[in-house]
Structure 1
Amino acid sequence: MTALILIDVQRGFDEPEFWGPRNNPGAEANMKALLDAWQDRRLPVVLVHHDSLKPGSPLRPGQPGHDFKPELDGARPDLVFGKKVNSAFIGDIDLDAWLKARGIGSFVIAGIQTNFCCETTARMGGNLGYDVTFALDATYTFDLPGLDGEVVTADELYRVTAANLANQFATVKSTKDILSGLG
């Protein structure tokens, strides 16, 4: 059985003045397509939210940005929990224990941000022995300043994350390919 783990699909990421330019404007539609497919098949769904401790962050608990995006309206998750760091394996719930208790040895990751919480969770999942599928086009990220002062674009970060994961930690697929594999 394969679980779907949706990471940090929160309204606070819709604030470009805080985050800067993003990539992959179709990500939310792909997240929704995955969620619908998992729920239609009664497969396990896990929703993770980031509980930022940083002052001024739109992802702080109690702020409107902490809420899930509308694409998750109507979700019937099997598990919902928060985390304060990048990995969903280090959160308010022991995700590893939860998955193992249910005999779940594989999962698909989608959400925000590609190169932070999604990638970190995929890496840890791979290291823990899970069969991880990374739904690249159901993620997005933002431009970042490089150490040399140049901007590293969201598209560059996205591409590098895919290469990092595919060569060590996960199978990187499109939403279309994941859905066609569900039958």
Structure 2
Amino acid sequence: MSLETNAALLVIDVQEGFKDPSWGERDNPDAEANIGRLVQAWQASDRPVIVVRHDSTDAGSTLRPGQPGNDLVPEVAAIEPALFITKAVNSCFYGTPSLEDWLREHDVSQLVIVGGTTNHCVETTSRMAGNLGFDTTLALDATWTYDLEGPGGLRLSAQQLSDATAVNLQGGEFARVRSTDEVLADL
């Protein structure tokens, strides 16, 4: 696979609030380093980087505006993105300004998606990108998530959730799932 000269890197919710221990057990401790490698490569190749921040409307959220957890981590805050989006839901396509409009206006058809959390905002955005016709790649080792409990006490580890996202996205034909090294090789 080769990446077009205007393929966009979409950096989702890399915020201080995700460092809070209340989120629980996390996978992929190298996610931020891999995101940093991709951002550097995108900037060096003069491709667009899009940064998204989750502005939670939940009063108790670590990601609520006005709280320190809402801040982007320093490495992401230092980026001068081609587009900066805020959102209050899982999908970046329901943020402000409109991601879809910007991509179409700039004739961007390829997206590489990274950030947090794998099975929430990253997976939702990847599914929507695929449904909207964008050629979508998820750099799985540049994402992270946390253990999660579901109905009836069913509990999945962060690694199980990450694996399920990879299967859902690639097996469901929403996106290609690759490693950071594979994406960098495509540049």
Shorter-chain TM-score range: over 0.9
The answer to whether the 8 A contact 2:85-2:99 is kept is no
- Taking the TM superposition and a 5 Å limit, the aligned residue runs for 1:122-133 are 122-133=126-137
Identical counterparts, % of pairs: 50
RMSD: 0.8
Letter in 1 for 2:93: F
Partner of 1:148, secondary structure, is helix
Match of 2:182 in 1: 177
Deviations 1:44-93 (A, max 9, x none): 01000000000111100111111111221431201112001000000111
The answer to whether the 8 A contact 1:39-1:76 is kept is no
How far apart are the structure 1 equivalents of 2:62 and 2:77?
19
Give aligned pairs, total.
Answer: 181
The answer to whether the 8 A contact 2:41-2:184 is kept is yes
Which ranges in structure 2 are unaligned for 5 or more consecutive residues?
Answer: 1-5
- Taking the TM superposition and a 5 Å limit, the aligned residue runs for 1:72-151 are 72-151=76-155
Deviations 1:135-158 (A, max 9, x none): 100000000112121321100000
Match of 1:20 in 2: 24
Q: TM-score, normalised by structure 2?
A: 0.95
How far apart are the structure 2 equivalents of 1:34 and 1:83?
23
